[in-house]
A and B are shown apart, each in its own frame.
Chain A
Amino acid sequence: MKQIEVRNLSKIYNEGEQNEVKALNDVSFELEEGEFVVILGASGAGKSTLLNLLGGMDNSTRGEYIVGGTDVAKYSSKQFGSFRRKDIGFVFQFYNLMPNLTALENIELAAAVADNPFDSREILKKVGLEKRANNFPSQLSGGEQQRVAIARAIVKNPKLLLCDEPTGALDSKTGASIIKLLYDVANDYKKTVIIVTHNANISECAERLIRIKDGQIASNEIVTNRIKPEEVKW
């Protein structure tokens, strides 16, 4: 069952001007529900721009972005807000946790805005941080912070879990554990996960691999020899 249809989606900065930048140019693809997708591309390829559009964090210049039969690209700012609130879980490269909230409270914050959230403590346990519930982000390691960020994203019970370079700020070992966590979470909760990365190793455990180059889709393939995250050589 198709969960996402992206048709000719473009994001152009300063369109028509001398300094026009086509961050995303005529991108089209479709994703099935529950897919574990990796979008691979070099720095500046347009992958984060694409993820931002998919997360309703930015407006596209043109094109369609259909989620569950509705063209999200045409949403107003208010509708985007509601879309992010109900349907999207976002994981950032630098975690973006609220520094003044504990691990558990960061998760509770997201749970509080969702319609049908999971239990915050259960999710914290799921990411293996039940003992760190009352620690502030500054008291957690990078990997732990990213786990909290993942928990915060998943607790909302979103349709889509979007991860922007989730291992970008982490060492390979911790990065691997984070990918495994995302992989497990996707399986356990049957969530569509989209990971944007420049790390080709991650793509080995993806169900679908979309390569992006100069703002365009270079390839879109189902990974046939998919391996488990713990088998990936980092």
Chain B
Amino acid sequence: MKKNKSLSGTLIKLGTREIKNNWKQLLATTVIGAIAVTLFVGLMANAENFSSRVNKTYENGNMADIWVTSKSYDEKDEANIAKIVGDKGQVESRFEMTGQAGFNSIFAVIEKSEPEISKPFDLKRGEKDTNDYFVRIDEALSTSSEEPVSGKYRIGDPFGVTIDMSLFGNNITLLSRVLKLSDYYETDKNPFEKTSMTLDFEVTGIMKYPENICKASFNNSTVIISDKAIHKAFNSILLNNMKTSIPLEERIEEVDLIYNVLSELGLFCDDASYSSGARVFAPNQYLVSLSNKKNASKVKEQIETYFKGKRANNLLSINDRSNMPFVVTVKNDAEQARNFTFLFPFVFFFVAVLVILTTTSQIILKERMQIGTLQAIGLTGNEIMSLYVFITLAVVGLGTLIGEIVGPILVPAIMNQKYSLIYTLPKLGFVFPVFAGVMTAVLFLLAAALVTFYVARKEIKLKPTESMRPRAVNLKSFSMKIEPKHGISFLSFKMALRNMRMNIVKSFMVIAGVLGCTALLVCGFGIEDTITNGLDHDIKYGNAQDISLTFGTSKTKEELESDLASFTGIKEIEMFTKATSQITFPKTEKGSNSSVYILGNAPEKSHFKFVSDLPSDKVAISTKVYEDIGAKAGDSVTFTYSNKTYEAEVYCVYDAFFYNGIIVSGESPILGEWSKAYSGADIDIKEGFNADDICKSFKEMSFVISAQTSGDWKRSINDIMGGILIMTNAVKVFAILLAVTVLYNLALMNFKDRTRDIATMKVLGFKRSEIAFSLLFETMTLTFFGVIGGLFLGIPFLHGVLLLNKVELIYFMISIAPTSFLLAFVLTFIVSFLTNGAFALGSERVKMVESLKSVE
């Protein structure tokens, strides 16, 4: 006698063949497992991929670790900060200001020479770009098109940067008066007499910049300008506007005098002059780069202490990466990407476990005889259990493997559609989230093993004789008598009802599976509805005009009317300003990076109809701002506009999708004495005129940076929302995939479960339609309950998804159209009907003799 092959080897062989022979039934388990893991690992990979690309960007540009901004220049500051940093890193200084480039709000960074900290990378340099002469724009401001694109620039394009004169402080009025007295400028050409000054440049390079990886239209772009370029632009504006009748030398002397005054005011460096190559703007920001990033908070603290110890503390702000707004915004998006991982995939994970539960329990039930026989042969419960656990693990493991491979490739590629619209990031690479990947596989396989254990345990616990007998039916029969008048349909109906009751767990699983699919569909449609309704809402209240204009330099209404005097077809002009603003609620010390809307008309007559009854001495804030800062009607908030901070009482909170921010009337006393020069205008055209034609004419005017019809506006918003809609469509596709998988699995099981019934019914002479009715009645009834539950569950699900997927500057006014509920209902129902119907009609293929044969 000799020991034969090992039991485990034979069981593996048996398990493998079970899988092969039941592949149709087990396919759903693999597919659903693959989908769940694809989503889970894929979204994790996406989060890691996004973070790693952001870090790579920071690394490529050697982004600063600490930003120190001062109120006024002190020549000792840079040396003292350098002393604090010591050999732990390096320090650089620069001048930073806000400005307008066309209709784009920009951050202009003035560098003495090629920066080492927060430096441009992937730089495309033009011929004129050198290490000490450059005007580099970020990619968001650039275009690769050969044709001119409104608001976008190419290397060599003229590039005007408009700065508000408030940048020079109140003393500039004095300078203006002195210049007026000196009579060097014509009255309308004195640059310091105006509210803004436009410095003319030419784009020398296009760059990626670590401090501004966001390229969405709502975000400010960054422009890096060398001191040499600024110097040239200043010389030009100061000299060329002087009366040409004055000899050149005299004019140059006057320019030197202006430089001198500006130096005295602490704005320009002491030795700045017409011919000096020295720095023009005195630095107002110091960047610190540390070799060990962990030292940031300590160094930050030391710098703060240094400023506090000064007789005149000129520190305006000090930030490190943990609280620098642009870093935080990107970090939030990365966080959001990670959070997203824990919502959808959990639904799929839940459904996947349900599918495993259903499939395994059906296989176990089908194999009762085999289990009994194995017990009779003498296999222990654990040995039999290991067979079924092996089957489940092999099937789920295959799905997991597919998911682990496909997820990190597919999901980041889909999500990159969104990121590429918003961010300038290095090329998408392959990142495998090792920890998440391993944990997902372990947890998923563990869940599958536990589910199998739970299902098989009951059957394996039975005595062999019990397993080998047909399953006991513990049902009280209905008190419905079947009479000939009831017909066969009634009998089918009764059988279906009994089946549901007999397989209560399976029935519950069908309901739960369908419920999950419907909830996902409701969520997918709901996101789309929310976006569409938001757009419609904002078009109704914020874009009632026919055309919107944005100017290169701000204009008063009178100036604009005179510019447009020759235009026919204009019905009404409303001046309008939209600018970025920091809105703060002092009580909570919370702030919101948003927009300020200054209305040219009185609120009740404005095109901007969000708050028609806004009193002129109050402001209105949007719900998004309210959620950010917590201020409500009656509270006092502050907001910034054109380098000034204003304080005002909130009149009300208004709902807006895109037009989030703070609304203030142009006539409001809150703004004090201001120029009433607006950055744009809303135009209504007379009947019979074509908005597109007029818009085209506006675009040809030199002072118009952009002219958009309401249709153009909707299209540009749709572009911004494109990323979200891609995700929405992905959700819908996955929901339908899920529905097909779950329902296919359940339909197949139901069909297999009832093969003998079908064969018997055929023998008894049932028609194909009658058999189909019996099968369909059962699944469609369960589908109905699942769909109803899913319609309700979809609502909180949508809220959760949008909460986790907040988009900067956009507020989701959640709404689900009745048609969406109807569509989710119909889609799930149709998928269920088609899947089950296909099987039900397949009863024709059931062979009576084979199906009714005894166990073999």
A residues sitting closer than 8 Å to B (CB atoms) are: 52, 55, 57-59, 77, 80-82, 84-86, 88, 90, 92, 94-101, 105, 107-114, 116-120, 137-138, 145, 152, 155-157, 169
A94-B855, A113-B7 as given contacts; A81 in contact with B373, CB under 8 Å: no
Residues on B with C-beta less than 8 A from A116 are 1
B7, B377, B464: the one within 8 Å of A152 (CB):
B377
Contact: B378 with A84, CB < 8 Å?
yes
B544: Cβ under 8 A from any A Cβ: no
Contact: B378 with A110, CB < 8 Å?
yes
The tally of CB-CB contacts under 8 A between chains A and B is 115
In the assembled complex, the CB of A136 is this many whole angstroms from the nearest CB of chain B, namely 9
A57-B463, A58-B465, A156-B378 as given contacts; A109 in contact with B10, CB under 8 Å: yes
Residues on B with C-beta less than 8 A from A98 are 14, 370, 373-374
Contact: A58 with B463, CB < 8 Å?
yes
Identify which of residues 356-387 in chain B touch chain A, using a CB-to-CB cut-off of 8 Å. 369-370, 372-381, 383
Contact: A101 with B856, CB < 8 Å?
no
Contact: B856 with A99, CB < 8 Å?
yes
Residues on A with C-beta less than 8 A from B670 are none
Residues on A with C-beta less than 8 A from B7 are 109, 112-113
A111–B2 Cα distance when bound, in Å, is 9
B468: Cβ under 8 A from any A Cβ: yes
Residues on B with C-beta less than 8 A from A52 are 464-465
Contact: B376 with A55, CB < 8 Å?
yes
B562: Cβ under 8 A from any A Cβ: no
Residues on B with C-beta less than 8 A from A156 are 377-378
Q: Which residue of A lies closest to B463 (CB)?
A: A58
A100–B374 Cα distance when bound, in Å, is 13
Contact: B856 with A84, CB < 8 Å?
no
Residues on A with C-beta less than 8 A from B372 are 96
Contact: A84 with B377, CB < 8 Å?
yes
Contact: A88 with B13, CB < 8 Å?
no
Residues on B with C-beta less than 8 A from A120 are 4-5
A145–B466 Cα distance when bound, in Å, is 23
A85, A97, A101, A111: the one within 8 Å of B4 (CB):
A111
Residues on B with C-beta less than 8 A from A113 are 7, 377-379, 383
B3, B10, B379, B465: the one within 8 Å of A101 (CB):
B10
Identify which of residues 461-506 in chain B touch chain A, using a CB-to-CB cut-off of 8 Å. 463-466, 468
Q: Is the interface of B mostly helix, strand, loop or mixed?
A: helix
B854: Cβ under 8 A from any A Cβ: yes
Residues on A with C-beta less than 8 A from B855 are 94, 96
In the assembled complex, the CB of B296 is this many whole angstroms from the nearest CB of chain A, namely 64
B18: Cβ under 8 A from any A Cβ: yes
Contact: A101 with B17, CB < 8 Å?
yes
Contact code string B1-28 (vs A, CB < 8 Å = 1, else 0): 1111111011101100110110000000
Beyond the given A108-B10, A113-B383, could you list 15 further A-B residue pairs with CB under 8 A, ordered by the A residue number? A55-B464, A57-B463, A58-B463, A81-B381, A84-B378, A92-B376, A94-B855, A96-B369, A101-B10, A105-B10, A112-B9, A117-B1, A117-B4, A137-B856, A169-B854
Residues on B with C-beta less than 8 A from A105 are 10, 13-14
Identify which of residues 829-856 in chain B touch chain A, using a CB-to-CB cut-off of 8 Å. 854-856
A52–B383 Cα distance when bound, in Å, is 22
A72–B1 Cα distance when bound, in Å, is 27
In the assembled complex, the CB of A35 is this many whole angstroms from the nearest CB of chain B, namely 22
A112–B7 Cα distance when bound, in Å, is 5
A58, A96, A119, A169: the one within 8 Å of B373 (CB):
A96
A80–B380 Cα distance when bound, in Å, is 10
Contact: B21 with A100, CB < 8 Å?
yes
In the assembled complex, the CB of A167 is this many whole angstroms from the nearest CB of chain B, namely 14
Contact: A90 with B463, CB < 8 Å?
no
A166–B20 Cα distance when bound, in Å, is 30
Contact: A85 with B376, CB < 8 Å?
no
Q: Which residue of B lies closest to A112 (CB)?
A: B7
In the assembled complex, the CB of B26 is this many whole angstroms from the nearest CB of chain A, namely 13
A113–B373 Cα distance when bound, in Å, is 13
A116–B14 Cα distance when bound, in Å, is 22
Residues on A with C-beta less than 8 A from B14 are 98, 100-101, 105, 109
A94-B856, A119-B1 as given contacts; A101 in contact with B383, CB under 8 Å: no
In the assembled complex, the CB of A1 is this many whole angstroms from the nearest CB of chain B, namely 22
Contact: A90 with B856, CB < 8 Å?
no
A135–B463 Cα distance when bound, in Å, is 30
B residues sitting closer than 8 Å to A (CB atoms) are: 1-7, 9-11, 13-14, 17-18, 20-21, 369-370, 372-381, 383, 463-466, 468, 854-856
Residues on A with C-beta less than 8 A from B5 are 108, 111-112, 120
Residues on B with C-beta less than 8 A from A169 are 854
Contact: A90 with B377, CB < 8 Å?
yes
In the assembled complex, the CB of A10 is this many whole angstroms from the nearest CB of chain B, namely 16
**Of B4, B379, B463, which is in contact with the most chain A CB atoms at under 10 Å from its CB?**
B4
A101-B17, A116-B1 as given contacts; A95 in contact with B380, CB under 8 Å: no
A88–B377 Cα distance when bound, in Å, is 8
Q: Which residue of A lies closest to B376 (CB)?
A: A90
In the A-B complex, list the 10 residue pairs whose CB atoms are closest, starting with the nearest: A85-B378, A100-B17, A112-B7, A111-B4, A96-B373, A57-B464, A58-B465, A84-B378, A90-B376, A109-B10
Residues on B with C-beta less than 8 A from A137 are 856
Residues on B with C-beta less than 8 A from A82 are 378
A57–B465 Cα distance when bound, in Å, is 6
Contact: B465 with A84, CB < 8 Å?
no
Residues on A with C-beta less than 8 A from B381 are 81
Q: Which residue of A lies closest to B3 (CB)?
A: A117
Q: Which residue of B lies closest to A90 (CB)?
A: B376
Residues on A with C-beta less than 8 A from B374 are 98
Contact: A81 with B375, CB < 8 Å?
yes
In the assembled complex, the CB of A3 is this many whole angstroms from the nearest CB of chain B, namely 18
Residues on A with C-beta less than 8 A from B2 are 119
Residues on B with C-beta less than 8 A from A80 are 463
Contact: B378 with A57, CB < 8 Å?
no
Contact: B376 with A57, CB < 8 Å?
yes
Contact: A108 with B4, CB < 8 Å?
yes
Residues on A with C-beta less than 8 A from B3 are 111, 117
**26 interchain pairs (CB within 8 A)?**
A52-B464, A57-B376, A57-B465, A58-B463, A59-B463, A77-B463, A84-B378, A85-B379, A86-B378, A92-B376, A92-B468, A98-B370, A99-B856, A100-B17, A100-B21, A105-B14, A108-B4, A108-B5, A110-B377, A110-B378, A111-B3, A112-B5, A113-B377, A117-B1, A119-B1, A152-B377
A59–B464 Cα distance when bound, in Å, is 11
Contact: A112 with B17, CB < 8 Å?
no
Q: Which residue of B lies closest to A87 (CB)?
A: B378
Residues on B with C-beta less than 8 A from A99 are 21, 370, 856
Contact: B373 with A92, CB < 8 Å?
yes
**Of B17, B377, B379, which is in contact with the most chain A CB atoms at under 10 Å from its CB?**
B377
A111–B7 Cα distance when bound, in Å, is 8
A212–B468 Cα distance when bound, in Å, is 23
In the assembled complex, the CB of A43 is this many whole angstroms from the nearest CB of chain B, namely 15
Residues on A with C-beta less than 8 A from B6 are 112
In the assembled complex, the CB of A228 is this many whole angstroms from the nearest CB of chain B, namely 28
Contact: B10 with A95, CB < 8 Å?
no
A194–B759 Cα distance when bound, in Å, is 37
A152–B377 Cα distance when bound, in Å, is 8
Residues on A with C-beta less than 8 A from B379 are 85, 113
Contact: A100 with B18, CB < 8 Å?
yes
In the assembled complex, the CB of A149 is this many whole angstroms from the nearest CB of chain B, namely 9
In the assembled complex, the CB of B474 is this many whole angstroms from the nearest CB of chain A, namely 14
Residues on B with C-beta less than 8 A from A111 are 3-5
In the assembled complex, the CB of B5 is this many whole angstroms from the nearest CB of chain A, namely 5
A169–B856 Cα distance when bound, in Å, is 11
B1, B4, B18, B20: the one within 8 Å of A112 (CB):
B4
Q: Which residue of B lies closest to A110 (CB)?
A: B377
Residues on A with C-beta less than 8 A from B383 are 113
Residues on B with C-beta less than 8 A from A94 are 854-856
Q: Which residue of A lies closest to B18 (CB)?
A: A100
Residues on A with C-beta less than 8 A from B10 are 101, 105, 108-109, 112
Contact: B13 with A114, CB < 8 Å?
no
A26–B1 Cα distance when bound, in Å, is 40
